[in-house]
Structure 1
Amino acid sequence: MNTTLLDPKVLGFWARCVRETQHLSQEALAANASVNIRTVQRFEVGQPINVTSRRALAKALGYDKPDIFDDPKFIESVLGFFDGLKTMQQKNLDDEHPDHVRIGAQPVASGQEAAKFADVINAVSFSIDEGLHDNTKALAASFCDYVQDLMDLDDVPMSSRLGFAKELDGILQDLRENGASVYSATRDRKFRNDSWGDAPALEMTVGYLVIVPADRQLTQLYIPRRARLG
């Protein structure tokens, strides 16, 4: 673990948590540290302050060492705390979805990425957030339909692929202008049916395309642990 630097925003958030745990207002902390309140506010949002003020705030928050914020052991303990908190939050989310599996999601930033997504999957599941406006939902549906159509095409010349990517770029731009973001994920699956006898399982790459309001940032999706082919 790299303990040489602590992100100023992480340090500021930590300092705010310590202050609030001690039931101190920003005004009270500023008075205890003999700094102005703007210094406290800048520090807690991760903006730079001078070394003298950092040391004064450390003392006012109850730390004996004036340079505690730069101490490797302190930094390691803070990072460890947030890592543990993140792990606990993730476990709580997993417990809320016992019949689902978590997979990584990434934003679809270009028409080329969308076309490549359509090219590598064998089946797809679409999801359009209910919170989007009706016009945005219509755009999202057209984007999904376009990806679905691309999945059904074989032996497409490169010139056509470039044209498809450009058209998808246009729809993506319209979605962004209407406050929506597109995310994708894939999962390799094996499907079989009892009626298949000794036939091998059907191996497929299933794609997931999710369109949500732009203020939602997704890094993962929860999808059903078991799925059936229609």
Structure 2
Amino acid sequence: MSVEHIRTEPSILYFGTPVVLISTVNAEGGDNIAPMSSAFWLGWRCVIGLDASSKTTENLLRAGECVLNLPSVDEVAAVDRLARTTGSSPVPDAKLARGYRHEPRKFEIAGLTRTPSEIVSAPRILECPVQMEAAVAASHGLGDDGPRKGPFRAFELRILRVHIRPDILMDGHANRIDPDRWRPLIMSFQRFYGLAVGEVHASRLGEISEELYRSLAGERASSTAGIF
């Protein structure tokens, strides 16, 4: 059935992407976790968008590294406990207006567990089934052409090392995630969702060997710890 579309102007264009918990190290030495979902991956690169005034933005610009922790639907309560908290003090005006509060103990209030990374200084989050150590490759202002210059910051991150919980790997494959076992937590228009149905249609792209994408990407993580 054909339905005529109408013109509309939503306040946000938040159509649904996986939640990411970004862990970084503060200048004074403490840890920070930022829940966000403005992220996408190409090969072993990830592009994220953040509020330019956030503590995570500050930490990424200073330290140049982080961990991208991907929670599943099972960790949704912990993610929600981080909502409307910020590591920034004082709280930026825009966040203050939305009810944010300063919180320096993100791991503790969320009930999450620190675990050491192998390459970067930022900790991994033990409970997250997917953990990716990353380094900043590039960054630039986002929205600089708008009325409020530079409200966002975009980062290109180079993935250095990937840690996967074994139960979401495909049987017989050490390097393939099973999409039937991986249940990402999705944020859509500021609300939490999971993948309610299974695969809806066979995919011709799914017939391509994943190893071919490895060569197309032209890179992978360094096997030597400490090399960026």
TM-score interval, smaller chain? under 0.3
TM-score (normalizing by structure 2): 0.24
TM-score (normalizing by structure 1): 0.24
Q: Which has the higher helix share?
A: 1
Q: Which protein shows a greater Rg?
A: 1
Q: Which has the higher strand share?
A: 2
